[in-house]
Amino acid sequence: MSHLDASKLFSLNGLVAVVTGGGSGLGRTMALALAQNGASKVFIIGRRADALNETASLSPRLGVIIPVIGDIGSKESLENAYKTVSSQTEYIDLLIANSGIIGPANARNVTEDGETVPLEKYRESLWSIDPKEMTHTFHVNATGAHFTVVAFLPLLDAANKRRPPQVPNSGILSPPRPQIIITSSIAGFMREIVSGFAYQASKAAVNSLIKMWSNNLLNYQIRVNGIAPGIYPSEMTTGRLREFGTQHGVTEGDAPKTAVPLTRLGSEQDIAGLVLFMAGASGGYLNGTIVISDGGRLASKPSSY
């Protein structure tokens, strides 16, 4: 029964991964979790060398996390990042397309007192947003994720070609097929505007990309899944933390129950545990799934999931 041991189910020994947006936030936590639990190489891609180097320095397994400068909003930069990675490994087992931006915020149509904002005033706030800001949000969150997938397909395919066959009638599985995990957001399922039209619509597009890619890569035996986080402490949620009056937000009671039923934000352990499950043998049967990690927030809002 050793194949049911947690050490086997969640082991990442020898895993080679690429994580975009690995210089901060969820990307940093995911990269550190992979390195901490046996991955042999974790390439982190981002625009800021200082942030990437800081992530690498935080891992006790020095040299496992490898910074790569790259901008997922540029095909040329993505191609250069791919070439850098492929010069140091012949394959990757896991690609986490995690980079994203919040985009322009828009005023709410209801005041703090619950009064409806006059339509003309609401229109003014929406009209004041530069269309280029809207488009840029889609470009980074959706188009960037799409071309990140395209860029690294050869290395994912190479992982399949080196994968050992399963021993017939042994009951022991071969290592999981290579996988792409795309970071989306529960905002992509919401009808209520809580993060801005641009961000939420772009994440709805990402949710569709996850489903389409999972279908489109079936014949190539490359799995595609998604993560839809709720509110986690990061550069993108600093405003929400100020609103809640907390610095970290991961202690029960830090968030109002109306915002998060579990009354706290997601922690490093929450996202790390989810990634370990999905990346290991434990998640080897997942394909086309978007996993929500939000403390019940989506269940409390008008949404479609």
Q: Which residues are catalytic?
A: 184, 199, 203
Judged on CB neighbours under 10 Å (0-12, 13-18, 19+), 184 is buried
Distance in angstroms (rounded) separating the CA atoms of residues 10 and 191: 35
Retrieve residue 29's tokens: 């936590």
Beta strands in the chain (DSSP E): 16-20, 41-46, 65-69, 94-97, 179-183, 223-229, 290-293
Interhelix angle 197-216/144-161, rounded to 10 degrees, is: 30
β-pairing verdict for 179-183 and 94-97: parallel
- Which distant-in-sequence residues (6+ apart) come within 8 Å of 216 by Cβ? none
